[in-house]
């Protein structure tokens, strides 16, 4: 295990309640995703849990966790077709979702169906097992596109346009949240919702299409950062390890039938400001240039301009606290991306 990931695992271990987690059985959907990979390894290796990973690509999954042996078991298949079964798990973490911004506009019907049917089936899994907790990984996008600088807490509404195809992602997440509330009210499935801000860290692939990854590539390749918008959107971010501690906190201590925001409030800044922070990490110096294009929502799947200043007091009230700043997030992610490229080239 590379140094940064090992450090992150220790970081998570020092910030969770092992008494409530250790030696549990945990079902994780979206297990080969960015967050899922970290959770599987942490729970199996540092909490001695039996992890049941719901995956579509079995070969990829086995390659990721070959060293964990029988600590990881697998449910193989499309999440929208999984048949609920009694498998004796204590917790469910439902993180499977499409995160391709382009697909939000290009394949909106698929986005909605996968989110809603996948969540229904995972809730049915939890219904058939006497679980202690179920965590649904939602998104800050459920709040729509706030235009002011006011703090956004869990009681804030949404101004989403239901007639916009791009709304397929946040609107499907909203419906999934309501499904969680419904299963808690009707079937007593102990569901909790975590509304994550944009989360990144080790494991982001070099060719990831999201804007934070493009900034990292520019730093690594020592080339100018070009923004396709004015970079006015403002939001906060979250480091991967802090995201994991947020999930595990919500899983063990969150109130059932409740939603919690998860973000590092100190990272709140505009896209343009974030580009400047990333550019500052390049020792040779690179510039940031804006080159706005028309129809960026259609072409790149970008959301509308917004100011998403999430209030995380509710989650912090459970004892959670994010500690990794934005520049450190980038530094750690870039180091891992550079290592990935060296491995591909046979340098290490």
Residue 304, pLDDT score: 75
Per-residue model confidence as pLDDT tens for the chain (348 residues): 589 999 999 999 999 999 999 999 999 999 999 999 999 999 999 999 999 999 999 999 999 999 999 999 999 999 999 888 888 999 999 999 887 888 898 999 999 999 999 999 999 999 999 899 999 999 999 999 998 889 999 999 999 999 999 999 999 999 999 999 999 999 999 999 999 999 999 999 898 888 999 999 999 999 999 998 899 999 999 999 999 999 999 999 999 999 999 999 999 999 999 999 999 998 878 999 988 866 655 455 566 788 999 999 999 999 999 999 999 999 999 999 998 888 877 776
Distance CA 81, CA 323 (A): 39
Residue 301, pLDDT score: 53
Residue 257, pLDDT score: 97
Distance of CA 293 to CAs 196, 211, 222, 269, 298, Å?
Answer: 28, 15, 23, 22, 11
Full-model pTM: 0.94
To 10 degrees, the CA torsion angle through 328, 220, 240, 76?
Answer: -170
Residue 116, pLDDT score: 97
Please name each of the domains of the chain with its CATH number.
3-202+238-265+310-324 (3.40.50.720)
DSSP SS3 for 184 = helix
Distance CA 189, CA 197 (A): 25
DSSP 310: B
Q: Where are the alpha helices (DSSP H) in the chain?
A: 3-13, 18-21, 34-46, 58-64, 101-106, 108-128, 168-187, 211-221, 240-253, 271-279, 296-300, 313-316, 326-344
CA 131 to chain CA centroid, Å, is 22
Distance CA 146, CA 307 (A): 5
Reported residue count of the chain is: 348
CA 73 to chain CA centroid, Å, is 22
Query: Cα 73–336–261 angle (5° rounding)?
Result: 70
H or E stretch including 259? strand 259-262
């Amino acid at each position: 295990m590379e140094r940064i990931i090992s450090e992150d695992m220790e970081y998570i271990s020092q910030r969770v309640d092992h008494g409530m987690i250790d030696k549990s059985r945990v079902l994780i959907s979206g297990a080969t995703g960015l967050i899922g990979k970290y959770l599987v390894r942490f729970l199996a290796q540092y909490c001695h849990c039996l992890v049941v990973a719901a995956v579509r690509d079995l070969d990829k999954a086995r390659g990721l966790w070959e060293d964990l042996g029988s600590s990881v078991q697998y449910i193989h298949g499309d999440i929208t077709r999984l048949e609920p079964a009694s498998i004796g798990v204590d917790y469910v973490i439902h993180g499977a979702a499409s995160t391709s911004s382009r697909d939000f506009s290009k394949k909106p019907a698929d986005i909605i169906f996968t989110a809603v049917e996948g969540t229904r089936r995972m809730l049915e899994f939890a219904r058939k097992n006497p679980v202690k907790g179920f965590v649904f990984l939602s998104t800050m996008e459920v709040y729509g596109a706030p235009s002011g600088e006011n703090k956004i807490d869990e009681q804030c509404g949404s101004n989403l346009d239901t007639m916009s195809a791009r709304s397929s992602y946040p609107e499907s997440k909203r419906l999934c949240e309501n499904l969680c509330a419904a299963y808690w009210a009707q079937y007593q499935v102990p569901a909790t919702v975590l509304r994550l801000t944009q989360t990144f860290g080790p494991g982001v692939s070099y060719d990831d299409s999201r804007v934070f990854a493009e900034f990292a590539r520019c730093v690594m390749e020592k080339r100018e950062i070009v923004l396709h918008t004015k970079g006015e959107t403002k939001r906060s971010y979250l480091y991967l390890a802090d995201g994991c501690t947020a999930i595990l906190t919500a899983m063990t201590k969150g109130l059932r039938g409740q939603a919690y925001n998860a973000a590092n409030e100190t990272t709140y800044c505009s896209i343009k400001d974030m580009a400047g922070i990333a550019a500052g990490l390049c020792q040779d110096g690179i510039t940031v240039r804006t080159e706005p294009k028309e129809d960026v929502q259609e072409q790149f799947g970008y959301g509308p301009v917004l100011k998403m200043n999430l209030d995380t007091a509710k989650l912090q009230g459970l004892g959670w606290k994010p500690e990794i700043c934005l520049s450190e997030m980038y530094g750690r992610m870039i180091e891992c991306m550079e290592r990935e490229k060296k491995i591909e080239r046979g340098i290490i």
